Structure 1
Amino acid sequence: MRQTYLLAIDQSTQGTKGMLFDAEGQLTARCDRSHAQHIDDRGWVEHDPEEIYRNTVAVVRDVVERAGIDKNQVAAVGISNQRETAVVWDRESGRPVYNAIVWQCARGEQICEEIRAAGYAERVRESTGLPLSPYFSAAKIAWVLRNVDGVEERARAGGVCCGTVDSWLLYRLTGGKTYATDYSNASRTQLFNLRALSWDPELCKLFGIPLDCMARVRGSDEWYGDTDFEGFFDRPVPILAVLGDSHGALFGQDCREPGLVKATYGTGSSVMLNTGDDLIVSQSGLVTSLAWCMQGKVQYVLEGNINYTGSVIGWLKNDLQLVQTVRQAHELAAAANPLDQTYFVPAFTGLGAPYWDSAATGLFTGITRLTGRAEMVRAGVDCIAYQVADIVNLMREESGLAIRELRVDGGPTESTYLMQRQSDILGIPVCVPRWQELSGMGAAYAAGISAGIYDREAIFSRMERTAYERGMPAEQSEALYRGWKRAVQTALRHG
């Protein structure tokens, strides 16, 4: 019988992955291409959208050739993408008018302050489930319209497209035939009304973004057009799924029922809890988004986003030069003196959920004569586990749902030390899947189900996970967590 493959494109902050999954849902091949990070002395972060598109086309060629398959065996495509990153491009030429403004970039702060001063912050949160913040796409798009010559006028005339990376890729891959986004990405723009399930005209006007410039919103498992990847395929293949990367990981982790929660560890981290039909508006700094819309039905999530988790290890390595490799950081953490009480709060650009204090500054605290290189490195590694615990504990309180385990993915989950520490601090099992490419896997599985290649239940029954159980007394883990909370309060006071 002829084998069939699903192609996943996972376009992330650091690069683009191409992955092939076979008819049993197993990962067959993966290829990666990184793109440049453009960061100036103001801390503004940009990507070149054209480079991202070129890498997307190239990585598809790479992975098909590496797998050694007949490219006509690829049945469908699923796309997952970095969220909140904003792209504005010319509707006719399909060329960007400016670089993509990355989710990490806070240049829209002044625009948000103007809206806050006008008394609309609560209106924004009530409609979108998101606190008014330059982290989300709306202020980034507004900044481009205000600051790039001629773009605002062209936007009013309907000559530009304003969207997230998924809509940019869809537009280019389909030769301009598809200008669309899915519900998960739309819910992260700060322009989408979670109750009406449509763009909010008042908020678009508030940010100065013409409604006609926004993409059509489609279900996460719908047809998004066909592509031949610049002539690489002999015949066009359908794009049958689009999900924001964290939502793709939620689906790939089989968190399809209320009460199931996952954490994706990356440059930053996303912790996401499926709340089903319930739209829960957080009172403590979490955000509300859409998980997806599949088979015509939406599900909601509570989410906490952490700006600096895996990137803390990079900082220990590249800037402080305390370690030479990421692996060494985790080895040193495991070997550190257990009596040392050093904490590190990674508030490089303020603190996100659940604190939302953009003025907070980073610090080491609790340093004594017991503290050496290993102990400082451990503090950097441990801050990842503490920040994730902050989010999970708040989710439990605000949702009223029983959270019995944490499903995790991302490169840092390869660390036995970190995963054990995470379970110790949370007091629940931490479950690591066999495969780490969960964002792309979720998009591929959604596309495969949409194409009728995968059975919705059977495909998830094959997942294999390793579970880490709490290994320290509850009193000890609770004392460690209390120390973390004190350290955070010190960072907030010194911001």
Structure 2
Amino acid sequence: MGKYVLVIDEGTTGTRALIFDSDFNIAAQAYQEFTQYTPQENMVEHDAMEIYAKSVGVCREAIEMAGLSSDDIACMGITNQRNTCVVWDKNTGEPLYNAIVWQDSRTGQAVDAIKQTEWEEKILQETGKVIAPHNNALIIKWYMDNVPEIKEKIENGEALYGTMDTWMIWKLTGGKTHAVSCSNASSSGCIDLRTGEWHNEFLDYIGVPKDIFPVIQSESSDYGTTDLFGSAIPITGAVADQQSALFAQGCLEPGTMKCTNGTGSFMDINIGPEFNIASGGVDNLIAWKLGDTITYAVEGFVSVTGSAVQWLRDGLKIIRKSSDIEALAASVPDTNGVYFVPALVGLTTPHNDPFARGMLIGITRGTTEAHIARATLECIAFGIKDILDVVERECSVKIEEIKIDGGASENNLLVQMLADYCDARVSRPDTLEATSLGAALMAALYVNMIGLEDVKNVLNTDQVFEPKIDPVLRDTRSLEWKEAVKRSLNWIRH
């Protein structure tokens, strides 16, 4: 058997292939961005075929870079952006419309209608998730109502639905496996959280047929094989990106948590095998299922954090590349009273308002690009603090340590702000590729390359950040931030 693990890490802005050796060090990696389509202000779409083609391409590139062949690869894992979903023709393998991305809020009015009924609370209590535009049942219903070909294909039994792990597995196996990992199924908002199975009553209520849905499997299991890279490689791991990072960070015990800073920022806390619902705007998820054991998590996320930095780069053009923001923000001691609410596609946890819009407030004649850059980093920390406040209240815990990962976590100024405003120690590991590592570990578990207890010790701490800010200043700025958020809520309804 081979000694390496191949992973596809399919994110929101690009897809990466990584090869891990038997010690779970990265032997090679390749990356390509893919196109972001925004047909309207509240819409974000991807070309699923472009994602598949580029994912295959970066896998081939990584294998070549490592000097390996398919015979050297023991297994393959997949991790992916969650809630993004696609419907395709099961006979031709062609998508019937662009994939609708988790950041998209076109179903906001449908969400609003549900919130006026008893189903709002029922959905939270049974699926674990606050009803939101990224709910996959609502997206599928939008497809059916707005794309005649999709409605026709579904009615004729010729269409399949999947999250991006399902899509990739189906394509990689030549259409032999139509399956979804338990973590992605949970994130879709369409399952009964107690059983880990599709929630038939909810799907019937929305008007979405269950027969287009994939089979739900555990994160470490047999998803078939792919022969696209030579001899057959077994696909033995699939896990949603945030749950994958939680697993890789060794957060296997109740009360342990991580925060991933990428396109968005996601805070997840392991709450163990007991099913409990936390409210207050956070989501309740299946973290993973191993064997017959389900592990649950509570999560809050801010959808626009790293992508807010991209907006400074591509929209305002005040930085040339995303990494430039740290030096620009550090060139001033504070924001000079400027606050940036990054509600570019609405606000998620804990506000869950698809009608909020982005806002810069506190601007004076003394405001510079540096103040705006610093306010952008601060808004990421504030958004995470808002989630932490809810998690600590709902779960009756005090979080002393936050384990971080994701590309934006390289920014030392941002990480220090996170420690300051969350009043917690922040630990950064020696590799920020926790999301892809989690998929590698899930795949390796199935083929006995690693044991579950060993997972806790794979990542090592590289640097620890302690809170430094004056507590009075922390409280003052946090209150001002909350006031700024209030003014952005419900904006496009005015």
Name the TM tier (shorter chain): over 0.9
Aligned to 2:486: 489
Partner letter of residue 473 of structure 1? D
Deviations 1:13-53 (A, max 9, x none): 11111101111111111101221112113442211111111
CA contact (8 A) 1:268 1:305 kept: yes
TM, length-normalised to structure 1: 0.95
- Corresponding residue of 2:470: 473
| Alignment of 1:362 onto 2:358 | yes
Q: Are residues 1:23 and 2:19 paired?
A: no
Structure 2 unaligned spans of 5+: none
Is structure 2 residue 408 aligned with structure 1 residue 412?
Answer: yes
Partner SS state of residue 479, structure 1? helix
Q: Residue 426 of structure 2 is aligned with which of 426, 430, 434?
A: 430
Distance 2:55 2:343 in 1: 33
Q: Give the Cα–Cα distance (whole angstroms) in 1 for the partners of residues 61 and 322 of structure 2.
A: 27
CA–CA separation in structure 2 for the residues paired with 1:97 and 1:131 = 28
1:266 aligns with 2:265: no
Aligned AA for 2:16?
K
Which of 333, 340, 345 is the equivalent residue of 2:341?
A: 345
**1:375/1:145 CA distance change after superposition, 3 Å:** same
State how many pairs are aligned. Answer: 491
| 8 Å contact kept, 2:104–2:345 | no
Q: Equivalent residue for 1:75?
A: 74
Residues 116 and 365 of structure 1: is their aligned pair in 2 closer, same or farther, counting only changes over 3 Å?
A: closer
Structure 2 CA distance for aligned equivalents of residues 72 and 56 of structure 1 = 19
Deviation per residue, 1:371-402 (Å, 9 max, x gap):
33222221111101110111112111111133
3-state SS of 2:442 partner:
helix
After TM superposition, give the deviation of residue 427 of structure 1 in Å: 1.4
2:390 to 376, 394, 399: 394
Counterpart of 2:308 in structure 1 is: 312
By how many angstroms is 1:216 displaced?
0.6
Residues 44-80 of structure 1 show CA distances to partners (whole Å, capped at 9, x for unaligned) of 2211111111112111111000111233110000100
TM-aligned CA distance change 1:170 to 1:401, over 3 Å: same
Could you list the per-position Cα deviations for residues 73-110 of structure 1 after superposition, in whole angstroms to 9, with x for gaps in the alignment? Answer: 10000100111011111222222111111111122234
**Within 2, Cα distance between the matches of 1:306 and 1:207?**
26
* Alignment CA distance shift 1:282-1:474 (3 Å): same
Which one-letter code corresponds to 2:294 in the other structure?
V
Q: Which amino acid aligns with 2:303?
A: N
Paired residue type of 2:121: E
Q: Distance in 2 between matches of 1:311 and 1:462?
A: 29
* Cα offset, 1:219, TM superposition: 0.6
Mean alpha-carbon deviation: is it higher for 65-74 or for 278-287? Answer: 278-287
| 1:429 Cα deviation from its structure 2 partner | 1.0
What amino acid is aligned across from residue 444 of structure 1 in structure 2? Answer: A
CA distance in 1, matches of 2:42, 2:491: 21
Matches within 5 A, 1:36-435: 36-117=35-116, 119-229=118-228, 232-233=229-230, 235-338=231-334, 340-368=336-364, 370-435=366-431
Q: Please state how far the C-alpha of 1:437 moved relative to its aligned partner.
A: 1.4
Where 1:417 maps in the other structure, the secondary structure is helix
Q: Is the 8 A contact 1:347 1:360 kept in 2?
A: yes
Quote the offset at 1:307 in angstroms.
Answer: 1.4
Aligned-partner SS, 2:444: helix
| Match among 444, 450, 463 for residue 454 of structure 1 | 450
Letter in 2 for 1:304: G
8 Å Cα contact 2:128/2:285 also seen in 1: yes
Q: Structure 1 residue 282: deviation in Å?
A: 2.7
Q: Which residue number in structure 1 is paired with residue 7 of structure 2?
A: 8
* Preserved CA contact (<8 Å) 2:260 2:267: yes
8 Å contact from structure 1 (residues 273, 302) kept in 2: yes
| Separation of aligned partners in 2, 1:29 and 1:486 | 46
Q: Following TM superposition, by how much is the alpha carbon of 1:438 offset from its aligned partner in structure 2, in angstroms?
A: 1.2
Separation (CA, whole Å) in 1 of partners of 2:9 and 2:289: 19
Question: TM-score when scaled to structure 2?
Answer: 0.95
Provide the C-alpha distance between the structure 1 equivalents of 2:477 and 2:114, rounded to a whole number of angstroms.
40
Matched residue SS, 2:489 = helix
Paired amino acid for 2:470: P
3-state SS in 2 of match to 1:187:
helix
Moved more, 64-73 or 146-155: 146-155
- The structural deviation recorded for 1:367 is 3.4
* Aligned amino acid, residue 103 of structure 2: Q
What's the RMSD between the two structures over aligned residues?
Answer: 1.9
SS class of match (1:329): helix
- Distance in 1 (alpha carbons) for counterparts of 2:251 and 2:219: 15
Pairwise CA distance, 1:251: 0.8
- Output the CA distance in 1 between the equivalents of 2:391 and 2:351: 14
Mark the CA change 1:173 to 1:45 in structure 2 (over 3 Å): closer, same or farther. Answer: same
Distance 1:114 1:410 in 2: 35
Judged with a 3 Å threshold, the aligned counterparts in structure 2 of structure 1 residues 99 and 367 are, in CA distance, closer, same or farther, namely: closer
- Output the CA distance in 2 between the equivalents of 1:348 and 1:42: 9
1:410–1:198 distance in 2 versus 1, CA, 3 Å: same
Counterpart check, 1:440 vs 2:418: no
Residue 187 of structure 2 aligns to a residue in which SS? coil
Q: CA deviation at 1:462?
A: 4.0
Contact 1:138 1:191 survives alignment (8 Å): yes
Distance 1:359 1:104, change over 3 A: same
- The amino acid of 1:78's aligned partner reads G
- Structure 2 counterpart SS, 1:319: helix
Match for 1:32: what amino acid?
Y
Q: C-alpha deviations, 1:320-375, integer Å up to 9, x for none?
A: 22223323321121221338222111122221110112222322223345533222
Contact 2:285 2:299 in 1 (8 A): yes
CA distance in 1, matches of 2:350, 2:42: 23
Q: Specify the code of the residue in structure 1 equivalent to 2:468.
A: G
Do the aligned partners of 2:96 and 2:149 also contact (CA within 8 Å) in 1?
Answer: no
Identity of aligned residues (%): 34
SS at 2:260 equivalent: strand
